[in-house]
A and B are shown apart, each in its own frame.
Chain A
């Protein structure tokens, strides 16, 4: 049957990763780091004039429930195996996968008196997937165990990756208030977005003699990610990432705004809204894939008269199986579409307790078409050495009320190196955790 050819679909789901929204609470509270300016355009390292940001990678990913990376993937020698069987028992009837990835390649900041200027480039991926447990079961165990059951296997995907070029400006007003703004030019790399009004793939293996029926009204937009679906030869192959979008093919804009208020010598508060109005219009290589209909396969129907008359004297299962493969045919048309960037809001505050200790609190709100989430955290930073700061955080989010974060920031000379996670236990055992959050990077500040 070569049903394993649907592997690309499944891998696609999980390659988009275990994830959730990029909250980065601890980074927001490290406003002395250059890379913190990504979360608030009003941030600029105190007392520095020039900042040269190096690569920084951040990942915030989560799978609903307790499914972990190690549940899905296991190492055996030098080989890695996808073993969905371990995860299926932990799946809910409906499951969410979130994945936010930010890779800042380079950035530059300048302080010119009361003005700040900044520019940079990043590659970002934002993904939200909702899939039914039945899909994983059908893929992994086949349809045999589900005879007589109607399986809803339609899944929803909103994913987009894009290049982000930004230019920002900030100004300090007096000694207390700093305002910043940033404009982003977005260049789409690839996107896939299911049509929420067409998300039905209903599979039934009849308990009679296992007649197969598939009712579909399923559609998705895609640019670059899926460029074709080939059902020939008993396979179900997706043409993935075969068409590359050029830089100016699919574009959009987004805006960030932020402020920082030094309320007193010890207390400062900040707020920012990121990716406001952000969207990308996908015009090139933009296709709409649609499968609609009811497909049934009842085996070879042999008219009784043909048997009796001897006009059908052969049971050719091979030919029948060939036709079975065409049950989920997609019609594809050129169709432009738009993806929107999730909007994020940060509100935070810090209280400088001593020269070595800083206490803080932060709230993060995330809003996307598929998900809205809010998290709050309280943190403490300790600087045992002038160039070393260690931070801890307790935060609550929609997944867990017991997240312990940890940050380590080293500032040897002009170098800033940092690694932090809002959930350090998951970060140090990312493959055994249902959620992963970490960010690391480096910069030179002068």
Chain B
């Protein structure tokens, strides 16, 4: 009976204890997350760069005279141009420069030798503009009347003449007489002035000197310009241009081996001077990356000269412009060899020589618009090969929340770099992570740059076939990642090599592009704090 009474208490007590223990573990309010290893993967960035954009930017960033032309077959031609050296004829040749003071007419017939360049004989000149004042100082005691003539100058068939009448002891200055439209003819580079003066009784007189040594007649010409000059040009040398062209495609501190297929230097002369002119290349050299001078030599030149095309008077080509393109390429010069040295500058000086052959029979002409212009340019069809050609760029960097991440929790970091390359250029890359002061904290790859972008195969024309995807994984331990995520900028240094190891020329097309993108995996310890 005592046992039964004891059980009456024990069993309910055991029930209560069991219930308590069953309930004790049911609450989850204070549960914590156990420590675990988790891995998160997410994209960082992606960008696509088209070759045409790239080349345009390269040009815009540097030289204003550079242009890129997309050819019909989508190949691109890069032009580096020098300034256009344009020489109006008036810069070289100065005709009929009359003195500012009146020209004294010492006699009733006076031959005035007008100013022309050496070896030039003017046979005809058309007056564009200008005025003439006839000055008469009548020292006689009676009035005079008469006419002034310029027999070589006429207009519409009428010889230039100016009647005058001057009272005794008076000074007379005619109003400005318009000379525009008059035609001057001469075969001796002289101009004849003649006058006839009569007293009231019909006696022809010579105007006496107004003072000792000063004739009684003078001519003042103002604004005298010509629209056309015709004559004989003899041998004469004059400067045309001295200029330099920067070739920035090769301007990098990085070393590389660039081989441009069929580089060209093109000298284009536009000439509306109507007489033979010979260009004399006084200096034509490239300056290499090494600072050395590489003289461009070509069989195109006769010695160092080449004759420019010109409009012929005999052929009735007055007013026309003739062009001369002198192309220096691998077939006629050593330019290909020079470009292997990655020149950074072309320096040139060109002079002109008229009638270099000294042909006495050549009649030439100039108009008031005659110019000779010379443009030198370097033409690079973007077809060639490069090996380890370098370029670099710096980008600011902000890792955001990753900067403050507790790296003690990070186990491993892996960058995934993906390139999808439609260009025939492979790229080796090295990224340098820089601090605020530009000091390198670390690099993406340990040691040398790695090929992160391979080139797709090329066809027989050197054109890339399709696109080549390259994946590169870069693992970082915590110490390295810790440094990297503190970086403020990255220096991206690329080394380009064209397809097939840079041994075969390839074509760069405007439609080709490259996509570069990167993702990140972070394996970290979570929970258990």
Q: Which A residues form the contact surface with B (CB < 8 A)? A: 1, 3-4, 7, 11, 14-15, 57, 69, 73-74, 79-85, 140-145, 147, 205-206, 208-212, 234, 297-305, 307-309, 313-321, 324, 385, 387-388, 408, 410, 412, 415, 417-419, 427, 430-431, 438, 440
B201 → A minimal CB distance (Å): 91
In the complex, what residue of chain B is closest to A297 when comparing beta carbons?
Answer: B43
The answer to whether residues A144 and B521 also contact, given A209-B43, A210-B43 and a CB cut-off of 8 A, is: yes
Q: Which residues of B contact A206 (CB under 8 A)?
A: 43
In the complex, what residue of chain A is closest to B524 when comparing beta carbons?
Answer: A142
B34 touching A317, Cβ below 8 Å = no
The answer to whether residues A81 and B416 also contact, given A298-B43, A308-B53 and a CB cut-off of 8 A, is: no
Q: A4-B33, A80-B31, A210-B41 are in contact. List 13 more A-B contacts (CB 8 A).
A: A81-B33, A82-B32, A142-B38, A299-B517, A299-B518, A300-B46, A302-B47, A303-B47, A314-B395, A315-B44, A317-B400, A318-B398, A318-B400
B400 → A minimal CB distance (Å): 2
In the complex, what residue of chain B is closest to A440 when comparing beta carbons?
Answer: B19
Q: Which residues of A contact B37 (CB under 8 A)?
A: 141
- Docked Cα-Cα span, A412 to B15, in Å, equals 13
Shortest beta-carbon contacts, A-B, top 8: A318-B400, A144-B39, A299-B43, A209-B519, A304-B49, A308-B57, A83-B34, A142-B38
A144 touching B523, Cβ below 8 Å = yes
Give the contacts of B1-60 with A (CB-CB under 8 A): 4, 7-8, 11-12, 15, 18-19, 22-23, 25, 28, 30-34, 36-50, 53-54, 57, 60
A77 → B minimal CB distance (Å): 11
The answer to whether residues A417 and B12 also contact, given A7-B33, A82-B32, A440-B19 and a CB cut-off of 8 A, is: yes
A307 touching B47, Cβ below 8 Å = yes
B29 → A minimal CB distance (Å): 9
A225 → B minimal CB distance (Å): 15
- Docked Cα-Cα span, A379 to B513, in Å, equals 79
B401 touching A208, Cβ below 8 Å = no
B522 → A minimal CB distance (Å): 8
26 inter-chain pairs at a CB distance below 8 angstroms, sorted by A residue, are A4-B526, A57-B19, A81-B34, A81-B527, A83-B34, A83-B36, A142-B39, A143-B42, A144-B39, A205-B42, A209-B46, A210-B43, A210-B519, A210-B521, A298-B46, A300-B44, A302-B46, A304-B50, A313-B394, A315-B395, A318-B401, A320-B400, A387-B8, A408-B11, A410-B8, A419-B18
Q: Which residues of A contact B15 (CB under 8 A)?
A: 408, 410, 417-419, 440
A211 → B minimal CB distance (Å): 5
Q: Which residues of A contact B53 (CB under 8 A)?
A: 304-305, 308
Q: Does B112 contact A (CB under 8 A)?
A: no
Q: Say which residue of B18, B40, B393, B397 sits within 8 Å of A144 (CB atoms).
A: B40
Q: Which residues of B contact A301 (CB under 8 A)?
A: 45-47
B223 → A minimal CB distance (Å): 51
The answer to whether residues A388 and B7 also contact, given A301-B47, A308-B57, A417-B12 and a CB cut-off of 8 A, is: yes
Q: Say which residue of B4, B18, B45 sits within 8 Å of A385 (CB atoms).
A: B4
- Docked Cα-Cα span, A108 to B234, in Å, equals 137
Q: Say which residue of B22, B33, B49, B400 sits within 8 Å of A438 (CB atoms).
A: B22
B413 → A minimal CB distance (Å): 11
- Docked Cα-Cα span, A80 to B18, in Å, equals 21
Q: Which B residues form the contact surface with A (CB < 8 A)? A: 4, 7-8, 11-12, 15, 18-19, 22-23, 25, 28, 30-34, 36-50, 53-54, 57, 60, 393-403, 416, 418, 490, 513, 517-523, 526-528
In the complex, what residue of chain A is closest to B416 when comparing beta carbons?
Answer: A209
Q: Which residues of A contact B40 (CB under 8 A)?
A: 1, 3, 142-144
- Docked Cα-Cα span, A412 to B393, in Å, equals 90
Q: Which residues of B contact A211 (CB under 8 A)?
A: 43, 519
Q: Which residues of B contact A302 (CB under 8 A)?
A: 45-47
Q: Say which residue of B34, B42, B47, B60 sits within 8 Å of A85 (CB atoms).
A: B34
In the complex, what residue of chain A is closest to B12 when comparing beta carbons?
Answer: A417
Interface of A is mostly: mixed
Q: Which residues of A contact B394 (CB under 8 A)?
A: 313
Q: Say which residue of A142, A234, A307 sits within 8 Å of B49 (CB atoms).
A: A307
A81 touching B32, Cβ below 8 Å = yes
Q: Say which residue of A11, A308, A387, A430 sits within 8 Å of B22 (CB atoms).
A: A430
- Docked Cα-Cα span, A415 to B518, in Å, equals 73
B324 → A minimal CB distance (Å): 37
Most buried by A among B38, B44, B528: B38
B46 touching A299, Cβ below 8 Å = yes
Interface of B is mostly: strand
The answer to whether residues A321 and B400 also contact, given A3-B40, A210-B43, A307-B47 and a CB cut-off of 8 A, is: yes
In the complex, what residue of chain A is closest to B44 when comparing beta carbons?
Answer: A299
B395 touching A82, Cβ below 8 Å = no
A367 → B minimal CB distance (Å): 27
The answer to whether residues A410 and B32 also contact, given A140-B38, A321-B401 and a CB cut-off of 8 A, is: no
- Docked Cα-Cα span, A234 to B402, in Å, equals 13
- Docked Cα-Cα span, A180 to B12, in Å, equals 31
A316 → B minimal CB distance (Å): 4
B19 touching A419, Cβ below 8 Å = yes
- Docked Cα-Cα span, A358 to B62, in Å, equals 103
A441 → B minimal CB distance (Å): 9
Q: Say which residue of A80, A147, A299, A408 sits within 8 Å of B32 (CB atoms).
A: A80
Q: Say which residue of A84, A304, A418 sits within 8 Å of B513 (CB atoms).
A: A304
In the complex, what residue of chain B is closest to A212 when comparing beta carbons?
Answer: B42
A317 touching B518, Cβ below 8 Å = no
- Docked Cα-Cα span, A83 to B60, in Å, equals 59
In the complex, what residue of chain B is closest to A139 when comparing beta carbons?
Answer: B38
Q: Say which residue of A82, A210, A313, A417 sits within 8 Å of B31 (CB atoms).
A: A82
In the complex, what residue of chain A is closest to B519 when comparing beta carbons?
Answer: A209
Q: Say which residue of B25, B393, B399 sits within 8 Å of A317 (CB atoms).
A: B399
A129 → B minimal CB distance (Å): 15
Most buried by B among A297, A302, A387, A431: A302
Q: Say which residue of B28, B38, B42, B513 sits within 8 Å of A11 (CB atoms).
A: B28
Q: Which residues of A contact B4 (CB under 8 A)?
A: 385
Q: Which residues of A contact B22 (CB under 8 A)?
A: 427, 430, 438
- Docked Cα-Cα span, A247 to B232, in Å, equals 120
The answer to whether residues A308 and B54 also contact, given A209-B43, A387-B8 and a CB cut-off of 8 A, is: yes
A59 → B minimal CB distance (Å): 8
- Docked Cα-Cα span, A4 to B529, in Å, equals 12
A4 touching B527, Cβ below 8 Å = yes
Q: Which residues of A contact B18 (CB under 8 A)?
A: 419
The answer to whether residues A209 and B518 also contact, given A4-B33, A307-B49 and a CB cut-off of 8 A, is: yes
Q: Which residues of A contact B46 (CB under 8 A)?
A: 209, 298-302
- Docked Cα-Cα span, A145 to B39, in Å, equals 7
Q: Which residues of A contact B11 (CB under 8 A)?
A: 388, 408, 410, 417
Q: Which residues of B contact A11 (CB under 8 A)?
A: 28, 31
The answer to whether residues A309 and B42 also contact, given A144-B521, A440-B19 and a CB cut-off of 8 A, is: no
In the complex, what residue of chain B is closest to A417 when comparing beta carbons?
Answer: B12
The answer to whether residues A308 and B396 also contact, given A144-B38, A408-B15, A410-B11 and a CB cut-off of 8 A, is: no
B8 touching A412, Cβ below 8 Å = yes
In the complex, what residue of chain B is closest to A301 when comparing beta carbons?
Answer: B46
Q: Which residues of B contact A313 (CB under 8 A)?
A: 394-396
In the complex, what residue of chain B is closest to A234 when comparing beta carbons?
Answer: B401
A445 → B minimal CB distance (Å): 15
In the complex, what residue of chain A is closest to B42 when comparing beta carbons?
Answer: A210
B42 touching A299, Cβ below 8 Å = yes
A73 touching B28, Cβ below 8 Å = yes
The answer to whether residues A305 and B418 also contact, given A314-B397, A419-B18 and a CB cut-off of 8 A, is: no
- Docked Cα-Cα span, A388 to B4, in Å, equals 10
- Docked Cα-Cα span, A321 to B403, in Å, equals 13
The answer to whether residues A314 and B517 also contact, given A209-B46, A301-B46, A388-B11 and a CB cut-off of 8 A, is: no
The answer to whether residues A82 and B54 also contact, given A4-B527, A142-B39 and a CB cut-off of 8 A, is: no
Q: Which residues of A contact B33 (CB under 8 A)?
A: 4, 7, 81-82
In the complex, what residue of chain A is closest to B30 when comparing beta carbons?
Answer: A80
Q: Which residues of B contact A408 (CB under 8 A)?
A: 11, 15
A26 → B minimal CB distance (Å): 15
